């Protein structure tokens, strides 16, 4: 199998650590708002990858996180505004997300872990980073020293100046006087008296965003994993920071084999995001379209190619999958039929080319006639097998 690796910026042969099993982590949500099409595109894309790897007889151990608390105040702020606890806010939006992933037939991870459930591991990692001088404490905050990790920026391939501009855009307080260097990032955040906190040797506080994912991976999957996924907007600073702190903690053992990122979904001239408020919510789309229809639409886009949401494209996709399912509904599959999936599998083996996979299925469907000929029954069975790997419910 060939996959695009962000670390090498190339499509390369995927060589898992084991011949029988694969470890995989995809960054999850911060539960403070309803799930949108950007979420759907990411998790549907990785869901197909997992289904296909399992079809190939790999034992895939898949872990995903929930950022129920971190150094930002999104969840805390919403809790204060709604007179609820931060736990209630996080639980509500987590359940909302899971509900719509279920409707899109996205399989749940083997382990779905809240950041607050790995607090001992977080503090253990921070402690070692401080002891080995990769991190430093100042006024109750702990920071990772990015100058100590010589390849900070390896995913973006940007200069320090470019990283600094990006860092400012994406919430890093580069003017923080506690820092040794502007790009240094928070491992432990000093909580105010009215904010949630956990005891530590540095004083009461809560973890930074980046350290949470590293802790979950190291605790549940080990020091090195095969695939790490997420949206492209996480590449910097989140994934860069994960690499730096994780490899420093494990004495520079390679942290991730392949870094995969889904492209941004655009709407109204910009990326779809909570901060910009230009969201198309999954729940709103599913009031008009089925989970199969929305999933087929998302699969019609190459996972690492940016695209703009247009409802007319969704309407076209809905008609396509309706036609396919209508054809299949005319046939019984009680009788076992031998199929050859070689061509379809080769398409997915080539960097998960889902748009081409859909075109292949439409071509096979065009060969199905109303008669119960051996050829038609074989093609029906072939299409159903392919749709199962794509997560389409037949």
Instruction: Spell out where the chain has E strands.
Output: 2-5, 10-13, 21-29, 59-66, 111-114, 135-138, 141-144, 185-190, 205-207, 225-231, 256-262, 265-267, 270-271, 307-308
CA separation for the pair 366, 227 (Å, rounded): 36
How many other β-carbons are positioned within 10 Å of the β-carbon of residue 320?
18
Record the tokens describing residue 313, joined without a space.
């494209």
Residue 333: the pLDDT is 66
Residue 370: the pLDDT is 77
Residue 156: the pLDDT is 79
**Helix, strand, coil share of the chain (percent; to 5):** 45, 20, 40
CATH 3.30.390, applies to 312-390: no
Q: What angle do CA 228, 231, 235 make, to 5 degrees?
A: 70
User: pTM of whole model > 0.85?
Assistant: yes
Query: How does pLDDT run along the chain (394 residues), one tens digit per residue?
Result: 999 999 999 999 999 999 999 999 999 999 999 999 999 999 999 999 999 999 999 999 999 999 999 888 889 989 999 999 999 999 999 999 999 999 999 999 999 999 999 999 999 999 999 999 999 999 999 999 999 987 788 887 777 788 888 887 777 787 889 999 999 999 999 998 889 999 999 999 999 999 999 999 999 999 999 999 999 999 999 999 999 999 999 987 789 999 999 999 999 888 887 777 789 999 999 999 999 999 999 999 999 999 999 999 999 999 999 999 999 999 876 677 889 999 999 999 999 999 999 999 999 999 998 777 888 999 999 999 999 999 999 9
Cβ neighbours of residue 270 closer than 8 Å, sequence gap 6 or more: 276, 278
Domain 14-267 homologous superfamily, CATH = HUPs (3.40.50.620)
Cβ neighbours of residue 373 closer than 8 Å, sequence gap 6 or more: none
**How many helices and strands, by DSSP H and E, does the chain display?**
13, 14
Residue 336: the pLDDT is 74
The structural domains of the chain, with segments of one domain joined by +, span 14-267, 312-390
How many other β-carbons are positioned within 10 Å of the β-carbon of residue 36?
23
Please name which of 39, 33, 42, 41 lies closest in space to residue 96, comparing C-alpha atoms: 33
């Amino acid at each position: 199998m060939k996959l695009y690796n962000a670390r090498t910026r190339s499509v390369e042969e995927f060589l898992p650590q084991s011949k029988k099993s694969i470890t995989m982590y995809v960054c999850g949500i911060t539960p403070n708002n309803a799930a949108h099409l950007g979420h759907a595109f990411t998790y549907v894309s990785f869901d197909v990858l997992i289904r296909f790897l399992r079809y190939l007889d790999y034992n895939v151990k898949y872990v995903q996180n929930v950022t129920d608390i971190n150094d930002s105040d999104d969840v805390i702020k919403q809790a204060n505004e709604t007179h609820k606890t931060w736990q209630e806010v996080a639980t509500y939006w987590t359940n909302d997300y899971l509900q719509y992933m279920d409707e899109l037939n996205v399989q749940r991870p083997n382990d779905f872990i809240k950041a607050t459930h790995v607090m001992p591991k977080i503090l253990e990692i921070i402690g070692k980073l401080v002891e080995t001088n990769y991190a430093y404490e100042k006024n109750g905050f702990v920071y990772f020293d990015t100058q100590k990790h010589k390849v900070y920026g390896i995913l973006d391939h940007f200069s320090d100046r470019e990283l600094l501009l990006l860092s400012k855009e994406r919430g890093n307080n580069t003017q923080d006087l506690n820092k040794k260097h502007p790009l240094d990032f928070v491992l432990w955040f000093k909580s105010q008296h009215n904010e949630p906190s956990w005891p530590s040797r540095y004083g009461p506080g809560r973890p930074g965003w980046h350290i949470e994912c590293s802790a979950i991976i190291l605790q549940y999957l080990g020091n090195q994993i095969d695939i790490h996924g997420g949206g492209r907007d996480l590449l910097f600073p989140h994934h860069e920071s994960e690499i730096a702190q994780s490899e420093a903690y494990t004495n520079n053992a390679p942290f991730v084999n392949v870094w995969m990122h889904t492209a941004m979904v655009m709407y109204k001239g910009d990326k779809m995001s909570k901060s910009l408020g230009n969201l198309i919510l999954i729940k709103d789309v599913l009031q008009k379209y089925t989970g199969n229809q929305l999933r087929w639409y998302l699969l019609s886009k190459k996972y690492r190619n940016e695209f703009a949401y247009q409802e007319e494209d969704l309407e076209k996709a809905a008609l396509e999958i309706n036609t396919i399912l209508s054809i299949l509904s005319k046939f019984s599959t009680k009788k076992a039929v031998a199929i050859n999936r070689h061509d379809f599998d080769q398409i997915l083996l080539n960097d998960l080319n889902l748009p081409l996979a859909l075109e292949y299925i439409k071509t096979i469907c065009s060969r199905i006639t109303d008669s119960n000929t051996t050829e038609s029954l074989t093609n029906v069975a072939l299409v159903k097998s392919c749709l199962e790997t794509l997560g389409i419910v037949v």
